Amino acid sequence: MRPLFHPSVEDVTVEAILHALSDPVRVAIYSDIAGQQCSQNCSSFLKVSEKPIPKSTLSQHFKALREAGLIRGERRGVEMHNTSRCMEIEKRFPGLIAAIVKAHQIQLQNQPDLTRLGKRPARKRSIAAR
């Protein structure tokens, strides 16, 4: 089995973090992991915001978070356990992760249920497009 890639904290960039957290499912997963004191098993995220996530898709989400430097994955038998690298990232980019997680929580409180399910709100068409 191939070893998992974890970038050193010096190689973590703001752009990689923002890209990884630009997906609503990934930011929901990361927000949950960042709020926990212990590692989280991948299978505990088979439903994110009440939306079922296929295992293959979930693996890709965790890979994006891991390669951006946001989480550390560890294989334990057949399970993958993930922990947040918040403390490392906080030293490199003070306040960044806390601001993103707080903004995500505010967004969840202020948006309709469809957005919580990972769907983007419909765009309003301009008068000229009607």
Chain-wide mean pLDDT for the chain?
A: 81
Q: How confident is the model at residue 99 (pLDDT cuts 50, 70, 90)?
A: very high
Of how many residues is the chain composed?
130
State residue 112's pLDDT score. 66
| Beta bridge partners of residue 51, listed in sequence order | 48
Confidence of residue 124 (pLDDT cuts 50, 70, 90): very low
Would strands 51-52 and 47-48 be described as parallel, antiparallel, or unpaired? antiparallel
pLDDT tens for residues 8-56? 999 999 999 999 999 988 998 898 888 877 777 666 776 676 778 888 8
Could you tell me the CA-to-CA distances from 57 to 27, 38, 107 in Å, in that order? Answer: 14, 23, 24
Reported as a pLDDT band with limits 50, 70 and 90, residue 71 is: very high
DSSP symbols for 92-113: HSTTHHHHHHHHHHHHHHHS-H
pLDDT at 114 over 50: no
Whole-angstrom distance, CA of residue 112 vs CA of residue 103:
16
Q: Write out the CATH class of domain 9-129.
A: mainly alpha
**Top-confidence residue, 13 or 129:** 13
